């Protein structure tokens, strides 16, 4: 550490930042567009790299470039990183607010360049960097998933906030002469802390993007890509688990098998795009009528199954009638639904038995003229 002066640490931080920028750039190219914010996350470390080159070249290039431009690019990089996190969580970036804050900081930087004063420059930089880090930390705590990636990123931002707050307090009595590159324990610790925290944040956002990608793959594996309902396999798994739980606790379980009436005619008359929209709206309407513990899945084509845990036969008929009425009241193109209901009992040794009884009740509803409900014996 004795031979590692602040200039070297700043340049090392820039090298680490640009390497992380390359990683994030390739993630952006290969990840689905549903994962937002990767463009900003990739651009931010690259901006930090440019700023470290300028800041680390103090004395080798004009002071305006190393002081004003270098600090400005650093502020922009940290702000863009924050914007990326806002987009990642589905929020609109607060561009107007932080653009104004950065422009105010630039004005002070220009003033301290014209009237050189190191302490005033550190005050404004430490204040803005601590505010950005704190806002970023607050965003993660409010919207981030509870997991290692979020906690790692939040920890780095917390340390950065505390370090910059300390730097702000220390700058209150700082001299006018420039002491950034002076070799001192406090200066070395602050610059090293910044470098480590920046690396931790970039690693953290990479892990956050990876976790979100994995969650999307898991969702796609268990949900129908068109309607968002559970897939047949996922629903069967949920039904088997609930049937076993019902046996242990002696609670009833009901199934509703639903089939959209004359759905082929809708496709033939209005086209498959309209047919797809009818399916999506049907699932949305039915899901809105179900409870949180209930499950709704697509068995194939226009046939769906609703799993109703701890639901008696009479209660299942009430739910089925609500669904039938809601679907029939939907706007054009007109569509109705036939429903077969079945509830578990002691004789149901497997899920297939229960599904067979619900399917038989569904065919009875179709034979009775459709747009009606039948309950299995």
Distances (CA, A) of 325 to 286, 330, 368: 11, 9, 17
With contact defined as beta carbons under 8 Å apart, do 151 and 103 qualify? Answer: no
The closest of 150, 149, 159 to 196, measured between CA atoms, is: 159
With contact defined as beta carbons under 8 Å apart, do 228 and 271 qualify? Answer: no
With contact defined as beta carbons under 8 Å apart, do 281 and 216 qualify? Answer: no
118-143 helix and 148-171 helix, angle to the nearest 10 degrees = 160
In angstroms, the CA 215 to CA 235 distance is: 18
Q: Exactly one of 60, 115, 211, 302 is catalytic; which is it?
A: 302
Q: List the structure tokens of 150.
A: 């979020």
Cβ contacts of 250 within 8 Å, gap of 6 or more: none
The closest of 81, 186, 71, 78 to 123, measured between CA atoms, is: 71
Catalytic (active site) residue 115: no
In angstroms, the CA 135 to CA 13 distance is: 22
What sign for the dihedral angle of Cα 321, 327, 329, 335?
A: negative
With contact defined as beta carbons under 8 Å apart, do 203 and 83 qualify? Answer: no
C-alpha Rg value of the chain to the nearest Å:
30
In angstroms, the CA 336 to CA 345 distance is: 30
Which residues carry out catalysis?
302
């Amino acid at each position: 550490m004795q031979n590692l002066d602040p200039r070297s640490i700043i340049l090392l931080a820039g090298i680490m930042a640009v390497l992380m920028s390359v990683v994030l750039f390739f993630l952006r190219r290969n990840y689905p567009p549903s994962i937002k914010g990767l463009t900003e996350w990739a651009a931010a470390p690259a901006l930090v790299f440019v700023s470290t080159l300028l800041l680390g070249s103090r004395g080798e290039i004009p002071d305006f470039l190393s002081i004003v431009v270098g600090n400005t690019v650093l502020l922009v990089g940290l702000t863009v990183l924050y914007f990326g996190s806002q987009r990642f969580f589905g929020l609109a970036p607060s561009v107007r607010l932080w653009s104004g804050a950065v422009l105010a900081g630039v004005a002070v930087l220009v003033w301290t360049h014209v009237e050189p004063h190191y302490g005033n420059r550190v005050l404004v930089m430490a204040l803005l960097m601590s505010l950005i880090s704190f806002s970023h930390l607050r965003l993660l705590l409010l919207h981030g998933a509870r997991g290692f990636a979020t906690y790692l990123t939040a920890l780095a931002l917390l340390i950065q906030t505390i370090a910059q707050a300390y730097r702000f307090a220390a700058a209150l009595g700082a001299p006018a002469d420039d002491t950034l590159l002076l070799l001192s324990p406090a200066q070395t610790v602050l610059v090293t802390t910044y470098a480590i925290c920046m690396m931790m944040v970039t690693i953290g956002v990479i892990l956050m993007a990876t976790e979100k990608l994995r969650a999307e793959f898991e969702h796609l594996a268990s949900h129908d890509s068109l309607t968002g309902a559970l897939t047949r396999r996922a629903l069967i798994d949920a039904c088997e688990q609930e049937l076993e739980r019902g046996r242990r606790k002696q609670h009833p379980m009901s199934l509703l098998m639903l089939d959209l009436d004359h759905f082929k005619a809708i496709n033939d008359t209005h086209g498959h795009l309209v047919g797809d929209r009818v399916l999506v709206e049907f699932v949305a309407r039915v899901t809105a009528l179900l409870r949180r513990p209930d499950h709704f899945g697509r068995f194939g084509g226009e046939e769906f199954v609703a799993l109703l845990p701890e639901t008696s036969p009479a209660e299942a008929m009430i739910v089925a009638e609500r669904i039938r009425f809601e679907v029939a009241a939907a706007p054009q193109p007109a569509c109705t639904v036939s429903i077969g209901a079945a509830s578990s009992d002691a004789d149901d040794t497997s899920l297939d038995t229960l599904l067979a009884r619900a399917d038989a009740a569904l065919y009875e509803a179709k034979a009775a003229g459709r747009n009606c409900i039948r309950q299995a014996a």
